[in-house]
Structure 1
């Protein structure tokens, strides 16, 4: 499988039923001649990468500082802190893959080839699992407000986050096993070296199911329940909470759908290699953008965003993280996010 986020290199011997799954000389020659400076699309992707790196490091770094050191630890800040750490780690390794994109030459050794791939998938799974946790947490707070008020503790939240990371690490291990480097025509490639076509398919399908399909369905169900509950209780005077929910679901879907679509298309040997490669280049960039969009969608978009925007940036972030999404109501009914006690 072409690896996640800027790892769309020429490892397509599955199409040729090569059991050793090594990169073919023809494809490698094509790849080596594929210099980024000669491609307009590649140059645009490099610019996008730089933007993602800068905004991702700054945005997630500030969130980590505020949620981890400036605020009292709560269940809510635990979600955001872990999510920001996941995205920050990915953005910190993204420069290596960006340089690889620009030069088509991996100069960082086998360990970093495996490690950067592992970190990329770790970010994919951990960030998505954390978004699912946030969605489920909000859903429970709406359906069972009294129970949530009494049962939502920092200790339980920390345990849930820990389990999410353990599961993410487990699903990312294949990168450490099958990632490898190979010298060809004066350049070094960092690529996948699967031992069979079945292994390739199994890993790709597993990543799609656990890294996109199931999380997306859970998020859809959670926010559908929230919206139905809010409407039935006439909790909101405006459509603002619904617009935010739509933005959260829509961004998740749009960021990850292109990447997973072309990953699955790669398994179908009837698609041209050039089409798959181009699609993965664009899809991985869109997926990478999710790392700097998360702080915006899950932190900056508070219910009182416009009012907080007038405050200093640090105060705005601290207030947005600390609030649990107060929803205006005419009657004493459950709120969207339970306040911390």
Structure 2
């Protein structure tokens, strides 16, 4: 939801072409723009409400109702990332509706940073989950001897530190400006070169490099799983669905951010609306994960007959059983 709203007149040499994505003061929307805003506001409200409840439930089940494991650490961290973002989303919904930011500079910086912190931490966690699965299948004995909850926690902490570091530009360049009775929350890069560096950094670290790492891990997994006969492949379906949902939700945003770097050769209305839609789809990713834990690989009617909590616990338990199955297979291989 937190689009990188920019005032290009601060550094563009051509002031006749100005992309000001948040026009302060009274705004006259076209019927199509107004309709789009209404749809996006509705989607974001749904994302916030469902995301808060769903991710809190995942945190509660994995954190207090289940035995702590490496896999539960990954999923708790992913749910925490989504939950924190959903906490900030109502402020952005208010800003989209009113085009006025009454919450101050600190919250302006934090709400904008929440989306990018969620982006980095989520995609890095997906890389960890894929790499962990790959090691479990490819090197089951080594994985059993070296995987531990404490090491997983350390990796997650390092991941969050890296994500926070990469989110710093949003904290630095996000500013507020008063226009009469209206306050604007926007991104002030001052120089177009800074905007280019930040946008490319987000694309490379938040999308391209993780995508390549995940493709490699998934390719190795696919080759290994062909040779193994697993009783349940549901954990791998959950992992695949998490990856697909993340990239489908984030591809539009990164596409329009890259197009925005050459904004003089594109329609400003297209970029403005495209960034809004892309950011909203990115926000949707925050409430998709809990449903994937519950519904992937199961008959929908059967799922409805069970409680949500028990279904999440069952989905996570299958992860543990699969890990144990891999370990037992590795032991038999050692004996033979």
TM bracket (short chain): 0.7 to 0.9
Aligned with 2:316 (options 315, 321, 330): 321
Task: Pick closer, same or farther for the CA change 1:25–1:162 going to 2, 3 Å.
Answer: closer
CA contact (8 A) 1:301 1:320 kept: no
The range that moved more, 158-167 or 118-127, is 118-127
Number of the residue aligned with 1:257? 251
Name the SS of the counterpart of 1:182 in structure 2.
strand
Task: Pick closer, same or farther for the CA change 1:6–1:117 going to 2, 3 Å.
Answer: closer
Number of the residue aligned with 1:337? none
Task: Pick closer, same or farther for the CA change 1:34–1:173 going to 2, 3 Å.
Answer: farther
Number of the residue aligned with 1:90? 85
Name the structure where helix makes up a greater proportion of residues.
Answer: 2
Instruction: Answer yes or no: is 1:144 the counterpart of 2:158.
Output: no
Name the SS of the counterpart of 1:190 in structure 2.
strand
State the TM-score, normalized to the length of structure 2.
0.86
The range that moved more, 272-281 or 180-189, is 180-189
Number of the residue aligned with 2:158? 163
Q: CA deviation at 1:272?
A: 2.0
| Alignment length (residue pairs) | 324
Where structure 2 has 5 or more consecutive residues not aligned to the other structure, the ranges are: 331-336
Task: Pick closer, same or farther for the CA change 1:131–1:240 going to 2, 3 Å.
Answer: closer
Aligned with 1:127 (options 122, 130, 145): 122
Instruction: Answer yes or no: is 1:117 the counterpart of 2:115.
Output: no
CA contact (8 A) 2:127 2:213 kept: yes
Query: What CA distance in whole angstroms lies between the structure 2 residues aligned with 1:294 and 1:151?
Result: 28
Query: What CA distance in whole angstroms lies between the structure 1 residues aligned with 2:259 and 2:19?
Result: 23
Task: Pick closer, same or farther for the CA change 1:36–1:10 going to 2, 3 Å.
Answer: farther
Number of the residue aligned with 2:40? 45
Query: What CA distance in whole angstroms lies between the structure 2 residues aligned with 1:239 and 1:91?
Result: 30
Query: What CA distance in whole angstroms lies between the structure 1 residues aligned with 2:247 and 2:272?
Result: 21
Query: What CA distance in whole angstroms lies between the structure 2 residues aligned with 1:65 and 1:177?
Result: 34
Query: What CA distance in whole angstroms lies between the structure 1 residues aligned with 2:23 and 2:297?
Result: 54
Query: What CA distance in whole angstroms lies between the structure 1 residues aligned with 2:247 and 2:19?
Result: 37
Task: Pick closer, same or farther for the CA change 1:40–1:10 going to 2, 3 Å.
Answer: farther
Where structure 1 has 5 or more consecutive residues not aligned to the other structure, the ranges are: 335-341
Query: What CA distance in whole angstroms lies between the structure 2 residues aligned with 1:289 and 1:93?
Result: 14
Number of the residue aligned with 1:223? 218
Query: What CA distance in whole angstroms lies between the structure 2 residues aligned with 1:196 and 1:28?
Result: 19
Q: CA deviation at 1:165?
A: 0.3
Task: Pick closer, same or farther for the CA change 1:142–1:304 going to 2, 3 Å.
Answer: farther
1:13-24 matches, within 5 Å, as 13=9, 16-17=12-13
Q: CA deviation at 1:26?
A: 7.7
Q: CA deviation at 1:185?
A: 4.5
Aligned with 2:173 (options 161, 175, 178): 178
Q: CA deviation at 1:195?
A: 2.7
Query: What CA distance in whole angstroms lies between the structure 2 residues aligned with 1:280 and 1:25?
Result: 12
CA contact (8 A) 1:241 1:303 kept: no
Q: CA deviation at 1:252?
A: 2.2
The range that moved more, 314-323 or 120-129, is 314-323
> CA offsets per residue over residues 94-145 of structure 1, 9 Å max, x none?
0000000010101101111011112221111111111111111111101001
Q: CA deviation at 1:53?
A: 0.6
Aligned with 1:300 (options 294, 298, 319): 294
Query: What CA distance in whole angstroms lies between the structure 1 residues aligned with 2:3 and 2:30?
Result: 14
CA contact (8 A) 2:256 2:275 kept: yes
Instruction: Answer yes or no: is 1:248 the counterpart of 2:262.
Output: no
> CA offsets per residue over residues 14-35 of structure 1, 9 Å max, x none?
78338xx9x9798765774156
Number of the residue aligned with 1:339? none
Q: CA deviation at 1:47?
A: 0.7
Aligned with 1:61 (options 56, 81, 85): 56
Q: CA deviation at 1:183?
A: 1.3
Task: Pick closer, same or farther for the CA change 1:284–1:152 going to 2, 3 Å.
Answer: same
Q: CA deviation at 1:11?
A: 2.3
